[in-house]
Structure 1
Amino acid sequence: MMMGHKESATIGIKICGLTEEAGFDACVAQKVDWVGFVFFERSPRNVTATQAAALSARHKGGPQRVGLFVHPDDATLDHVLNTVALDVLQLYATPVRALAIRQRYGLPVWLSQPVATQAELPQRCLVDRLLIEPKPPADATRPGGNAQQLDWDLLAGWNPTYPWMLAGGLNPQNVAQAIRQTGAPAVDVSSGVESAPGIKNPDAIAHFVQNARSSKFLS
């Protein structure tokens, strides 16, 4: 049974953690909706603003460019945005800080919302989109990108009226089931389409996109 709010009949697809040309080109070829650049040094997918700009310059138009930041200060955001054009800022931050960033830079802001229980599912969204993902392990060195799968049963009966995206442990094999079970209007994948940390597999990207897009026909 389908649950959750659908933005449209088309599933939004984001491939995060792009670091190299083959992965970026595969995202363009598969016509994904968003590509993500990670600006966080502890991540194996970390890129500099210059590296992100070089990748982005490979194709004009196409997927929207999303910059992922972990509790960034204004100096960090200024440097990145002065080097590479981004369409969306994805944040690990407090809601208050996220709103301040949205006001300062005038760009859509997505806020990561790690959850472990149904009670933690947010009933409202103060920014442009929430990313629902599992809470990281206690010994994790980063707040996301840990290849953990969210317990999809937590989303049973949850019907948000705002844009959101499902993240955490998705891959080509489980993405269709995840969409059917949760009603997610959009999905975010990183390690699930990699051949090594930070190295995207073009075939895996193609299979992920195909399975995500076909999920609505299998409901």
Structure 2
Amino acid sequence: MSASPMVVLVHGAFADASSWAAVHAQLKDEYTVVAPPNPLRGVESDAAYTRSVLDQIDGPVVLVGHSYGGAVITLAGTHENVVGLVYVAAYALDEGESLGELQGRFPDSALAANLKFAPFPIAGGEPGTDVSVDPAAFPEVFAADVPRAQTEFLAVSQRPLAASAFEEPASAAAWKVKPSWGIVPTADTTINPDVHRFGFERAGMTVREVEGASHAVALSQPEVVADVIREAVRAVAPVAA
């Protein structure tokens, strides 16, 4: 394995890989960075897809997850190529725990009252249910510190998450065996910041709080997110050599 890990960025619900664009711009001259699509169909299946991406990488990886992407990297991070994990405003599930269980221990965020539900077809089976954010509420709920013109487009281009993902228990917890870092945006109104704090503290992560940042901290303060990723890469690079 080479000494310099690749950075793999996994986006969360209600977004796509372009949500990492500003972080990529910060890191691209220092590291090889990829941001694969996250299907948003279920924790296990999305983790399997992410592992298929990792299978194609010849060398160590620092795996970064935003929001629901944290649940995905919690499973996919057990891959042998992964040498470090970074959770950005993300869920850090324990083995056997679901998103709904973790979130249910804390007061609801503003997101809960602004969700929309719609059916989606499943070949050969009953329709599933997609969850998205009411576009009218999206700018304030998801990205209050991002320019309004940008968030208005994000609101109408968001990618929904399958509702079943909220009840799916995690089959592994990679943070138990991989060094991990966490970023808590203190003004997150998509996920209660205490959900982040609880999961990160339980995992023994190195944590940075970003005062006044929204859930979309990777867009509003990409330099801070990139700095934590650099810290992770520097910390694990000697191990990967």
Category of TM-score, reference length = shorter chain: 0.3 to 0.5
Higher helix share: 2
Output the TM-score relative to the length of structure 2: 0.31
